[in-house]
Amino acid sequence: MKIKSIIVDDEKHGRENLAGLLREYCPEVLVLGEANSVAAAVLLIEKHDPDLVFLDIEMPKENGFRLLETLGHARFEVIFVTAFDNYAIKAIRFSAADYILKPINYNDLVEAVKRVSHRVLQKQENQRVNELARNIQQPENPRIGLPTGDRIEFIEVRKIIHCKGEGNYTHIYLQDKRRLLVAKTLVDFEELLNDYAFIRTHKSHLVNLHHVSAYLKTDGGTLELSNGDRVNISRRRKDAVQEVLKTLTQ
Amino acid sequence: MEDFLSRAEPKAQQLLLMNDTIRLSDIFPSDWKNFILYNKEGEHIGNAKSPLEATNLMKQYLVQPKEKTIDKSVLITVIIVLVALLVLVVSVLLVWKWRVQQQFRKEQRERRLRELELTAIRSQMNPHFLFNSLNSVQNLVQKNMGREAHLYLADFAGLIRKVLNNSEKEEVSLAEELEMTEQYLRLEQLRFDFDYSMEIDSEIDVHNTLVPSMLLQPFVENAIVHGLQNKTSDRKLKITMKRRDSEIKIEIEDNGVGREAAKELSKTKNGKGTKLISERLQLLKEKQGEKYLLETIDLPEGTRVEIIIPEEN
């Protein structure tokens, strides 16, 4: 079965390049059309009802995220294609959506298409992109996408109590007492969550400040959290943690 | 003292004695006991309990009478010298402070200039532009257009090389600036279609005229990104340079959507580059004491930026 797709990019070379790479490296993807703006993309999507949209983010007039907002609910999968935009890439990673960077490494393209086509063939609903759109529309209560095994859980950031890193994996401790194991490093989570009052207290601990219930002076500093867990503060981070806690109590 | 004054009666007998040839004992009987002595100026000299003692005191005073007056003039001189010294010290301090301040202001200006230059470099190194350009080159490779890919890659490398080199310089020759602008334009052209032209007055010695480095890029980029990219066809950019009197007038003109429309469309960072370069020109003006001028004019169709830079003489 072929995957029906369209390409959205304001630059002609961008569209041509991707189409060429897809022909060569992803023959299972069928490109039904190309759009150079969000408005044109909306029409193409209505016409072709694609399984997959390759979406450039930075475009004059309206950016790629606007397409998701315009459509409200996306039935199709999206692979974002972007040259550079820190903010956008962060938002995409936050929802665990797929993206590739320009200039395109064809290995990345093949990988992304493989992940997406798996979901297309299983007729799984496209949760990631809809969650991304939701986060963009409601930035005050974002949900983060946590891939666990073959599925993905979307968890409200405020319900994460703390994260504990263990090699390439991270344990996520939730308010409802559950614990998730995610195949991402603690550094990844630190990057994604540092806008939401999370602080690294130790090389293997990331803590949600809203869930700190006490500061204990034992063992050179320990934080007690709302679920009763105790988390160490390393010597080198002690000053920074105290500083943040001070501003919090004020 | 009070005591003596009260006893010195009658007042008529308080004598003014300035001459030691007069003997007090000749005038006053020896049993007179209280004498108060004054000099001509009415200054109190001393008190005595007998005419003899009074005479001696008088003599003593007259032997060294000048010392006191000298003392006074010395005092005045000392005061004058001290005041003069004080004034000198204060003025030296003020001058010193002024110079320090001047120095500080100069350093501040230099620092700000460096910052602005760095910002100019960063905007030239705009990652969105860089990666999209590379992506376009990748497309040429993908389409087996080796020759074009080769040329654009060379332009790309040339541009980056110049940015890296020029980042250490405050000024570059107009020729270098123009070459850099042209490489930038060719790469932008690869990304989307527009025409550009450059007209340089033959009277201008481009190799020996120095301009602030990366002067043109922000305006050219604005013209393309805000003016032309928001338009669908017939996109033109024109750069002209004319010499008049001892100035060079640079015009960057596009036939794009104009500033107002661009602002509405993009809602973002519009005009930041212009503000930065205008601040930079202002600082250069202060530093070199020469005239720089920057003006943006809205045309019926598009926008024109005029920059006037002084010719060195």
Give pLDDT, residue B7. Answer: 57
**Residue A234 φ then ψ, to 5°:** -75, 160
Residue showing tokens 């004034």:
B87
Residues of A in Cβ contact (< 8 Å) with B187:
none
B265–A60 C-beta distance less than 8 A: yes
- Sorted by sequence, the CB contacts under 8 Å of residue B199 that are 6+ apart come out as B238, B239, B240, B241
Task: Sort B46 into a burial class: Cβ within 10 Å, 0-12 / 13-18 / 19+.
Answer: middle
Q: What is the phi-psi region of residue B267: left when phi exceeds 0, alpha when psi lies from -120 to 50, beta otherwise?
A: left
Q: Compute the distance between CA of residue B165 and CA of residue B155 in angstroms, rounded to an integer.
A: 15
Q: Which of A11, A20, A58 sits opposite B142 (nearest CB)?
A: A20
Burial per residue of A106-118, b for 16 or more beta-carbon CB atoms within 10 angstroms, e otherwise? eeebeebbeebbe
Q: Dihedral, CA atoms, A146, A147, A149, A155, nearest 10 degrees?
A: 30
Chain A contact for B222 (CB, 8 A cutoff): no
Best probe of the A interface among B135, B190, B230, B235, by most A CBs < 10 A, is B135
Angle at B238 between CA B233 and CA B242, to 5 degrees: 165
B137-144 long-range Cβ contacts below 8 angstroms, 24+ apart: B137/A103, B137/B190, B138/A17, B138/A102, B138/A103, B138/A104, B139/A13, B139/A14, B139/A16, B139/A17, B139/A20, B140/A13, B142/A16, B142/A17, B142/A20, B142/A21, B142/A24, B143/A16, B143/A20
Reference A95, options A136, A42, A149; nearest CA is A136
Residues of B in Cβ contact (< 8 Å) with A16:
139, 142-143
Reference A25, options A153, A146, A112, A154; nearest CA is A112
- Sorted by sequence, the CB contacts under 8 Å of residue A192 that are 6+ apart come out as A90, A93, A94, A144
Residues of B in Cβ contact (< 8 Å) with A40:
none
CA of A43 vs chain B CAs: smallest distance (Å): 18
B142–A83 C-beta distance less than 8 A: no
Reference A207, options A183, A237, A236, A182; nearest CA is A237
Chain A contact for B134 (CB, 8 A cutoff): yes
Task: Mark out chain A residues that contact chain B at CB-CB < 8 A.
Answer: 10-14, 16-17, 20-21, 24, 58, 60-61, 83-85, 101-104
Q: Compute the distance between CA of residue A152 and CA of residue A122 in angstroms, rounded to an integer.
A: 14
Is residue B208 within 8 A of residue B173, CB to CB? The reply is yes
- Sorted by sequence, the CB contacts under 8 Å of residue A7 that are 6+ apart come out as A15, A18, A19, A31, A33, A34, A35, A53, A54
Q: Which of A21, A60, A103 sits opposite B131 (nearest CB)?
A: A103
A12–B132 C-beta distance less than 8 A: no
**Orientation angle between helical segments A64-71 and A38-48, nearest 10 degrees:** 50
Residues of B in Cβ contact (< 8 Å) with A101:
131
Best probe of the B interface among A9, A10, A16, A17, by most B CBs < 10 A, is A17
B192–A103 C-beta distance less than 8 A: no
Is residue B15 within 8 A of residue B27, CB to CB? The reply is yes
Q: Kindly state the tokens that stand for B21.
A: 């040839």
Minimal-distance CA residue of chain A relative to B131: A83
- Sorted by sequence, the CB contacts under 8 Å of residue A68 that are 6+ apart come out as A74, A78, A129, A130, A132, A133, A136
Q: Compute the distance between CA of residue B183 and CA of residue B163 in angstroms, rounded to an integer.
A: 11
Q: What is the pLDDT along chain B (313 residues), one digit of tens a residue?
A: 555 555 555 444 455 554 556 666 677 776 777 878 777 777 787 888 877 787 787 777 777 655 556 678 888 999 999 999 999 999 999 999 999 999 999 888 888 888 887 777 777 677 888 888 899 899 999 999 989 899 999 999 988 888 888 777 778 889 988 998 999 999 888 888 899 999 999 888 888 888 888 888 888 988 888 888 888 888 999 999 998 888 899 999 999 888 877 777 665 555 666 777 888 888 888 887 778 888 888 888 889 999 998 887 7
Helices (H), chain A: 12-25, 38-48, 64-71, 86-94, 106-121, 127-137, 186-193, 235-249
**Orientation angle between helical segments A12-25 and A106-121, nearest 10 degrees:** 70
Low-confidence spans in chain A with pLDDT less than 70: none
Give pLDDT, residue A79. Answer: 94
Best probe of the B interface among A11, A34, A66, by most B CBs < 10 A, is A11
Is residue A56 within 8 A of residue A104, CB to CB? The reply is no
Domains located in chain B, CATH noted: 2-63 (no CATH), 105-310 (3.30.565.10)
CA of B194 vs chain A CAs: smallest distance (Å): 13
Q: Which of A20, A24, A83 sits opposite B131 (nearest CB)?
A: A83
Minimal-distance CA residue of chain B relative to A58: B128
Chain A contact for B190 (CB, 8 A cutoff): yes
Residue showing tokens 């036939």:
B255
Is residue A200 within 8 A of residue A241, CB to CB? The reply is no
Give pLDDT, residue B12. Answer: 41
Give the pLDDT confidence of A159-189 residue by residue, as tens digits: 999 999 998 999 999 999 999 999 999 999 9
Is residue A101 within 8 A of residue A83, CB to CB? The reply is yes
Is residue A86 within 8 A of residue A110, CB to CB? The reply is no
Minimal-distance CA residue of chain A relative to B134: A103
Domains located in chain A, CATH noted: 3-137 (3.40.50.2300), 160-249 (2.40.50.1020)
Q: Would the ipTM clear 0.90, i.e. be above it?
A: no
Residues of A in Cβ contact (< 8 Å) with B137:
103
CA of A37 vs chain B CAs: smallest distance (Å): 11
Residues of B in Cβ contact (< 8 Å) with A58:
128
